[in-house]
Amino acid sequence: MSTRSSYKGILAAAALVAAGAIPAHAQQRELFRWSGRVDQEIQLTMTGRQLSASNVGPREPGQRRANVMSPLPRTDGQLNVQLVNGRGSVDVIQQPSAQNGYTAVVRIRDPQSGTGSYTLNAYWQPAAAGELGRPFGRGFGRARTALQWSGNVDDNLLIVLRPGGVSYRTVSGDAPRGVQASFSGLPSTATSVNVSLTQGRGNVFVAQQPSAANGYTALIRVQDPQSGYGRYAFDVMWR
């Protein structure tokens, strides 16, 4: 191997090591921005550059605007959605994978009567060596994952995240069962949290963002709409 080739190899290795210092927004790809009015529920489906909206609620107004910045890649990664404006919840109910043709599905739910205005941004986080990079995955980015949670929920559960630990409050229904949780911590530097739902028949959303006023306490609400227990699995990430 020539000296020049060796030097290039050293530079490439150094770039990989330094990647951990790159800001989180530089490691993400913005896919689309969406705004519109929701009465009960709308689902957004994305494959490649194609973004479509499906009305789940019976009286959806159809007033919406979408701007696709880049296609959803046909490779391993994770979709993350940021709710910019809206009184309800937004979550990813299907992550893109080879099994579903790299198709992602985002659910927008409005819990109140009448229609609500929503604005959201969607980002794609690539996978490296089979693991998602920071801030939304495992491996080196694990420090930014506050909570990995799975369990059976009946009706309405509130999960409280504080810098010192996690606690639960059953708002209605029976206490959760079969809970498995890994809490990595929620630091006082966290300005927002986001939920990535991987399994669940109901709704999981952020009911309270952490701030100095509430002692950097985040509230995650799990609402199961059907009778009996429903299985849920999700990650809570912080920024």
Q: pLDDT digit string (tens) for 80-133?
A: 888 888 888 888 877 888 878 888 889 898 988 899 999 999 998 876 433 343
Q: What pTM was estimated for this model as a whole? A: 0.49
Q: Flag whether 37 is in a domain.
A: yes
Number of domains in the chain: 2
- Are 113 and 40 spatial neighbours (Cβ–Cβ below 8 Å)? no
What is the model's pLDDT at position 230? 92
Range 151-168 burial, b when 16+ CB lie within 10 A, else e: bbbbbbbbbebbeeebee
Q: Flag whether 10 is in a domain.
A: no
What is the residue range of 182's domain?
Answer: 139-238
Q: Flag whether 179 is in a domain.
A: yes
Q: From edge to edge, which strands make up the β-sheet containing 230-238?
A: 177-183, 145-153, 230-238, 193-199
Pairwise CA distance, residues 217 & 160, whole Å: 7
- Are 162 and 217 spatial neighbours (Cβ–Cβ below 8 Å)? yes
Residues 106 and 180 grouped into a single domain? no
Q: Domain ends where: 99, 132, 165?
A: 132
Pairwise CA distance, residues 126 & 173, whole Å: 38
The amino acid occupying position 82 is: Q
Tens digits of residue pLDDT in 119-147: 999 998 876 433 343 333 333 334 388 99
What is the model's pLDDT at position 13? 38
- Burial (CB count <10 Å: 0-12, 13-18, 19+), residue 99: exposed
Q: Flag whether 9 is in a domain.
A: no
Q: Domain ends where: 132, 161, 194?
A: 132
**Count of beta carbons in the 10 Å neighbourhood of residue 3:** 7
Residues 103 and 175 grouped into a single domain? no
